Structure 1
Amino acid sequence: MKRILTILILIVASELSFSQTYLTSEVIEKAELHLKKAVGDSLFKYFELGANSDYKYQTKTGKYKWKDISKGKKTKGKFIDGKHINFVLNHPDFQYPYTRKTVYVELDSNLNLIRDVYVDQIPEFLLGNEPSDWLSENKIDSIIKKQNLKTPVEPFSKRLKFDTKTKKYYWIIFNTLYKEKCYSDEEILNINPVSGIILKHYEERQKIMHCSE
């Protein structure tokens, strides 16, 4: 009798160890709540659940697997974490290409945050629910044309870049002076997107990775 009771206890304990499952909607709602606290109610409405928002779970055989949180009504196996759950910002005042618009909300097994939601790459005016104080791209182009740049071999290109040290954005402009298969000589400008001030003006050879002559 004691042996049967022991076996039953072990079976129940085993089942309980793998009973940590959630409704997928519950996990998403919890992640949304953490995101809303980080970015505010006004900006939150411009976020959508991102692709590859996977959660990690453990099967009864002890294997670890991952599954998209948007698939199915309940999580599978034993819920381990939701480190890959992410949301994508789609705001009309922040439609610049090459900028990071994905925000990760990393959850532990209890749906608490593993670390604070990183939102440094979101412009201050968006976090403050204020109108954009950035100069228009036409104005930036006008500033570029006034810099008496050297004669290029092709039209200049520009993109917005985020400095992870200063936590600030700046425009980086490439004025191509010479171009070969595996490298190009560039005249480069860095411009403050708010004031239009030239932060840096220099020349540099840009090499193309994994290119052979």
Structure 2
Amino acid sequence: MLVEIWSDIGCPWCFIGKRRFEAALSRFEHAPEVEVRWRSYQLDPSLPERFEGSEVEYLSKVKGMDPAQVSGMLQHVTEQAAGVGLDYRFGDLKVANTFTAHRLIHLARDLRGAQTAAAVKEALLAAHFEQGQDISSHDVLAGIGADAGLDPDTVREVLSGTEYTDSVNADIAEGRALGVSGVPFFVLDRKYGISGAQPEEVFSQALTQAWAESHQPLQPVVSEGGACAVDGSGC
């Protein structure tokens, strides 16, 4: 079974949703047969490579939100993150464009497969929300790539060009075609869509239902037509 997850590294609910989904998947009896594929999405493609200001300043000045409302919202998100073992530090967060970081995930998948891509995704989210690192920095991205087993010089060379730009844009376009307007967004076998960082039990129910429907036995159809036996006993 294929689970595709559209998310943005700059989305705090995406990290929380990742944890909740993974908790549900860890308890799913068919987990070894589930392929998880991370898809790129950008909440704010117009964001400069590095915004000189805090998350509160970005959301209030650029997005026009009330600073007091933003502070309350970030406190709520921080509490929700703590509930799944994450230590959000919005005071240290570096507001940055995520496009190049998404390219790194595609590079990791291309060179080392889905598990390495997932490790890079995890490291990027942790670097952004918990460690106060600038995820637009090629040095930071090269370090994250190296920790995941990629050659840091290769990472720098690729990111200095435009490779995997089309891959990121294709993910975003495909997500929009499927109706994704916010992230995280989970798509199970292209049959079920789950929007947002839902509680663990919602993901558990969806995994069970999607698995059951994709593994239903074929229903026999009564027919008068002739047939041959697969064991060669006759036609």
Name the TM-score, length of structure 1 as normaliser: 0.24
Select the structure with the greater relative contact order (CA < 8 A; seq sep ≥ 6): 2
Q: Kindly name which structure, 1 or 2, has the bigger radius of gyration based on alpha carbons.
A: 1
Name the TM-score, length of structure 2 as normaliser: 0.22
